[in-house]
Amino acid sequence: TQLLEQSPQFLSIQEGENLTVYCNSSSVFSSLQWYRQEPGEGPVLLVTVVTGGEVKKLKRLTFQFGDARKDSSLHITAAQPGDTGLYLCAHSGGGADGLTFGKGTHLIIQP
Amino acid sequence: NAGVTQTPKFQVLKTGQSMTLQCAQDMNHEYMSWYRQDPGMGLRLIHYSVGAGITDQGEVPNGYNVSRSTTEDFPLRLLSAAPSQTSVYFCASSTGTNTGELFFGEGSRLTVL
C-alpha cells in the first residue's frame, strides 16, 4: 500500500489569507484525487490530476501534481469561511481495490 | 438526485449485537465500497465489490461481512459488534476506472457500548 502523507494536519487562518496544503509520498502515482469533506457529510471530489506537472484551477483553488508524480499541492487564494472542511488526497493502486486516502488536512477559515 | 443512500444515519449497539448498514445507489455503478473513518486514522477500506456477485476484502475487513446480490445494493453486516467498531461508516460507488470519481453517501455513525 502506497502511503500518502498530508500536511499540515490542522490549519486555522483568517478569511482572505492564502494557504497551501500538501500531499506527499515516496511512490509514483498514476493519478491523484483531491476531495473535500464537510462535517456530517461524505467526501466530494474536487479534482483528479493525472499528468506530471499538471496544474488545474477550480475558482480560487489551484491543484498541482508534481513533475515526478510523487506529490501534489492545493493552494487556496483569499480563503473564505465556506472553504472550511477536511481536505483529503487519494490515489488508486491501479487494481480494483479502491482508493487509498491520506489522513487529511482539517482547514478552518475564521471570519 | 438520490446518488448513494445510507441507512441508518445513527445507531447505538451493545457489544455482541448484530446489525446491517444499508447502502443503495441509483447511478448504475459497478463498483461499490465501504470505508470507516476514525479520528487520526483517515478513511480505511473495509470491503469492496466490482459487480453483482463479486466482493473482496479491503484493508480492515475483520468483523464485517458484505454481499452484492444486485448492482444497486451493498449492505455491510456486523456479526457481533465490538467497541472497536465504533466509527463513522461511508458507502461509496464509482464507475470503477482508476481515475473514476468516488460518490459517497452521507455516512452512518455507529456507537458500540
* Residue of chain A whose alpha carbon sits nearest to that of B109: A40
**C-beta atoms of B43 and A1 within 8 A:** no
Count interface pairs A-B at CB distance under 8 A.
Answer: 62
The residue-averaged pLDDT of B91-96 equals 89
**C-beta atoms of A43 and B102 within 8 A:** yes
pLDDT of residue B96: 73
**C-beta atoms of A103 and B104 within 8 A:** no
pLDDT at A92 over 90: no
Which residues in chain A touch residue B107, judged by CB atoms under 8 angstroms apart? 40-42
Bridge-based pairing state of the strands B108-112 and B10-13: parallel
pLDDT at A1 over 60: no
Measure the CA–CA gap between B74 and B21, rounded to whole angstroms: 9
> Does residue A22 sit at the B interface (CB-CB below 8 Å)?
no
With beta carbons less than 8 A apart as the criterion, state whether A68 and A28 touch. yes
> Does residue B48 sit at the A interface (CB-CB below 8 Å)?
yes
- Please give the residue that has the higher pLDDT: either B2 or A11: A11
Give per-residue pLDDT as tens, A26-73.
888 888 999 999 999 999 999 999 899 999 999 999 999 999 999 999
The pLDDT > 70 percentage for chain B reads 96
Burial of A44 (0-12, 13-18, 19+ CB in 10 A): middle
With beta carbons less than 8 A apart as the criterion, state whether A83 and A11 touch. no
pLDDT at A16 over 80: yes
pLDDT of residue B21: 98
Residue-averaged pLDDT of chain B: 94
Looking at the complex, report in whole angstroms how far the Cα of residue B16 sits from the nearest Cα belonging to chain A. 27
pLDDT of residue B86: 98
Give per-residue pLDDT as tens, B61-89.
999 999 999 999 999 999 999 999 999 99
Q: Choose the closest CB to B102 out of A41, A45, A96.
A: A45
State the best of A30, A34, A36, A45 to mutate against chain B, taking most chain B CBs within 10 Å.
A45
Three-state DSSP state, B85: helix
pLDDT of residue B100: 77
Residue-averaged pLDDT of chain A: 92
- Please give the residue that has the higher pLDDT: either B98 or B104: B104
At residue B31 the predicted structure's pLDDT band, cuts being 50, 70 and 90, is: very high
Question: Residues in chain B, how many?
Answer: 113
* Residue of chain B whose alpha carbon sits nearest to that of A88: B42
The pLDDT > 70 percentage for chain A reads 94
pLDDT of residue A93: 65
At residue A99 the predicted structure's pLDDT band, cuts being 50, 70 and 90, is: confident
Phi, psi angles (nearest 5°) of residue A102: -75, 175
Render B14-81 in DSSP notation, one character per residue: -TT--EEEEEEESS--SEEEEEEEETTTEEEEEEEEEETTEEEE-SS-TTEEE--SSSSB--EEESS-
pLDDT at B101 over 90: no
Q: What torsion, rounded to 10 degrees, do the Cα atoms A94, A75, B89, B7 define?
A: -110
